[in-house]
Structure 1
Amino acid sequence: MTSRRKFLKGAAAVPAAGLAAPALAQSTITWRMQTYAGAALAEHVVKPAIDMFNKIAGDRMQIELFYADQLVPTSELFRAMQRGTIDAVQSDDDSMASPTEVTVFGGYFPFGSRYSLDVPVLFNQYGLDEIWKAEYEKVGVKHISAGSWDPCHFATKDPINSLADLEGKRVFTFPTAGRFLSQFGVVPVTLPWEDIEVAVQTGELDGIAWSGITEDYTVGWADVTNYFLTNNISGAWIGHFFANMGRWEELPEDLKALLTVCMEQSHYYRQWWYWGGEASLRVNGDKMKLTTIPDAEWQQVEDAAVKFWDEIAAESETKAKVVEIFRQYNADMAKAGRPYRYS
């Protein structure tokens, strides 16, 4: 583990986007962006968008992309961006420890969504985008765009067939998800992203509740875990693109527009990549056996989420406003019926 961390620290000086960067004009605007994702995952969740931006922007602007923990630990991403050490970030609020009222809703807010399309609708039609932009403006950061990733499932070495099987399991997960799951005996563990596979192999971790099955296969976790729990605590991870406010405001309007368009394209790519991948690997994947906790028993987890929402809403006026939006949205989807909600 120590050797891996030393290797990563040494690799931080190398731009993840490639070693042979082309010569740039002296007037070229250059940014450094770090993603929450490791190299294998970043190939899908961010690199295509940055490559597209760099190709179109040419000598006017180039973005150097760095992977998880290469420049700073993920938990320090916000502060580094706020200071200007990093110009832009792709992450959820929760993982990078944003000092905002909306941080708890980033990543996997328990049962806030059922499907990936819920996220863009919540932001673009139910008002979350305005709230996020206002909260980050207060702390000198530009919230550029929000999008959805995959659902949150358990990938474990031992089978999970009941809630009792979660007791004592040491699991790598997000801060808020861990806070919620701890009531069922889960022991949340925080480690650098690149150390997770080794930690499962050595027994430091019993499992992972950080993604859906697409990421388990993409990043190698399916090689060190044996089981995939089909029940999930959220239908989609909420992630964002952010930038240092000063650096953002320095950009010409057309480059702001180009950057935003490329990030929106990134959101679209993930919509179909994850949605298709989750189904295909459940059906065709040969590395992990599927297990399921019966609906009647899993209802205890969903009922606990309602109480958890109340707990979060009681913490501040802004959090209460966001929780109310989640409540209204999910109530509307339930009334709409199929295909929006099936139960």
Structure 2
Amino acid sequence: MTHKIDRRSFLTKTAIGGAATAAAATLAAPAIAQELPTLRWRLTSGFPNNLDTIYGGAVVMAEALSKITEGRFQIQVFQAGELVPGAQALDAVKGGTVEIAHTCGYYFTGKNPAFAIGSTIPFGLNARQQNAWLYHGGGNELYDEFLADYGVVGKPGGGTGAQMGGWFRKEINSVADLKGIKMRIAGVAGEVMSRLGVVPQQLPGGDIYPALERGTIDAAEWVGPYDDERLGFYQIAPYYYYPAYWEGGLTIHFYINKGQYEALPEPYKVALDTACKAANINMQALYDVKNTTAIRSLVGKGVQLRPLPRDVMDAAYKATFELYEEYNASNPAWAKIYPAWKKFRDESFEWFRVAEYSYDSYVYTAQASGK
């Protein structure tokens, strides 16, 4: 049995149905949007804004987050000192003065040396290994367990790669030459250097140049060629040493108020996590480009590049792992993270020696020989 279809009726019904579907879609978007709150957070950076790459990591994150959420979740970035001094960034997040900070964990080793493990510690992981450990090796989960006692959660938010060993007024030819040198150096590295005879000083980036100029300090480390050139250290201390054995792959973190983070709708948590990852990768790439140009510029200005003497590296290596064992025996927070970190480090080093190191060693040597 066949039915004759009224073409006009069919088209009318189809049009009505299509219009209804379109209307539903039009109504659905605002309805969904209305379920998500409009949030305005404040972020305090641990860095001045003239250090555009490291400070800029927070800006990259905030801009990405705003675009992902179509402007509903916005974070205003303040440089160190605008709201609170850089050294108080963590306390400001815990106390609710701001919702989030962007800074280095090792700035807070005075509270507990375990803060440094999430960022970098002497003779630790390189940049790729650091990301592997934090994202997929259980590192950031262990770090967050520790951070919970301080009312914050951490998200990796920037990498510098291996840093330079710093600027010295005089040449360093052996461990003996370090005795009595007053050096700006942060975190656990300062403790290691003190065991080699250095007098460590922890100063924020903006205070280093004046301290060098006045002679309050004799040496200073910061990040690498791009930042160091901008800060003008080469004008005072001509010897530029490498590498920073204490920062093989620094990770800067976003420290977020735990209560505020946990109260976020799930889409905002995902958006924030994604924006933090974007900032993390972007900063490393920027430094790799900018440092390549800056190191050539510095050498052109007469800077004397020097490798740290082997006996300095050997003495530092020995002192470092003696210190770690002391922490392991006396610091419960450290002891919860360090064994897993050490296992990951050792196994990762074994793997990287196979392909990565073999490749790097060959091509760098070949290029340097003019091939």
TM-score range, shorter chain: 0.7 to 0.9
- Cα distance in 2 between the residues matched to 1:260 and 1:303: 38
Residue in structure 2 matching 1:299, options 306, 314, 322? 314
- Give the equivalent residue in structure 1 for 2:221: 209
Aligned counterparts of 2:110 and 2:269: Cα–Cα separation in 1: 23
C-alpha change, 1:142 and 1:293, in structure 2 (3 Å) is closer
- The equivalent position to 2:101 in structure 1, one of 83, 89, 95, is 89
Return the alpha-carbon distance in structure 1 between the equivalents of residues 316 and 268 of structure 2. Answer: 45
Segment drifting more, 195-204 vs 48-57:
48-57
TM-score relative to the length of structure 1: 0.82
CA drift at 1:90: 0.9
Matched ranges for 1:324-339 at <5 A: 324-336=339-351, 337-339=353-355
1:75 Cα offset (Å): 2.2
Structure 2 unaligned spans of 5+:
1-36, 362-371
Deviation at 1:267, TM superposition (A): 0.8
What is aligned with 2:211?
199
Q: Is the 8 A contact 2:47 2:86 kept in 1?
A: no
| Alpha-carbon offset, residue 147 of structure 1 | 4.9
Is structure 2 residue 115 aligned with structure 1 residue 103? yes
Identify if the C-alpha distance between structure 1 residues 135 and 296 changes in structure 2 by more than 3 Å, giving closer, same or farther: closer
Partner Cα distance (1:30, 1:224) in 2? 43
Q: Does 1:120 align with 2:96?
A: no
Instruction: Say whether residues 1:230 and 2:242 are aligned partners.
Output: yes
Aligned to 2:51, which of 27, 41, 44?
41
Paired residue type of 1:291: R
Change (3 A) 1:240 1:338: same
> Conserved in 1, the CA contact under 8 Å of 2:226 and 2:290?
yes
Point out where structure 1 has 5 or more consecutive residues left out of the alignment.
Answer: 1-26
Aligned mates of 2:119, 2:184 — CA distance in 1: 13
> Which residue number corresponds to residue 165 of structure 1?
177
Note closer, same or farther for the CA distance 1:324–1:246 as it changes in structure 2 (3 Å cut).
Answer: closer
Measure how far apart 1:137 and its partner are. 2.5
Asked whether the equivalents of residues 226 and 295 of structure 2 are also in contact (C-alpha less than 8 Å), the reply is no
Give deviations 1:171-224, integer Å, cap 9, x for gaps: 112132111111112111133432222211121222212322332124443444
CA distance in 1: counterparts of 2:173 and 2:119, whole angstroms: 25
1:309 counterpart residue number: 324
Structure 2 match to 1:140:
151
Tell me how many residue pairs correspond in the alignment. 316
| C-alpha distance 139-334 of structure 1, shift in aligned 2 (>3 A) | closer
Distance in 2, matches of 1:270 and 1:263, equals 11
TM-score, length-scaled by structure 2? 0.76
Per-residue displacement from partner, 1:10-34 (whole Å, max 9, x unpaired)?
xxxxxxxxxxxxxxxxx74211101
Task: Return the match for 2:41 from 27, 31, 35.
Answer: 31
Q: Supply the distance in 1 between the matched residues of 2:187 and 2:144 (Cα, whole angstroms).
A: 22
Q: Which residue of 2 aligns with 1:274?
A: 287
| Aligned residue in 1 for 2:338 | 323
Per-residue deviation, residues 18-51 of structure 1 (Å, max 9, x unmatched): xxxxxxxxx7421110111111224443322223
Per-residue CA distance 1:82-140 (angstroms, 9 max, x = gap): 11001101112221458567314244411112x21121112123211111122222332
Does the CA-based 8 Å contact 2:162-2:243 persist in structure 1?
no
Contact 1:106–1:238 (CA<8 Å) still a contact in 2?
yes
Q: Which one has the bigger helix percentage?
A: 2
Q: In the alignment, residue 136 of structure 2 is paired with which amino acid? A: Q
Cα distance 1:303–1:149, how it changes in 2: closer, same or farther (>3 A)? same
Query: Aligned residue for 1:182?
Result: 194
For residue 132 of structure 2, what is the amino acid of its counterpart? V
Any residues of structure 2 matched to 1:229-268 within 5 Å, and which?
Answer: 229-233=241-245, 234-268=247-281
Partner of 2:142 in structure 1? 131
Moved more, 269-278 or 192-201: 269-278
Once the 2 structures are TM-superposed, how far is the Cα of residue 52 of structure 1 from its aligned partner? 2.8
Distance between the aligned counterparts of 1:289 and 1:338, measured in 2?
33
Give distance in 2, aligned partners of 1:262 and 1:81: 19
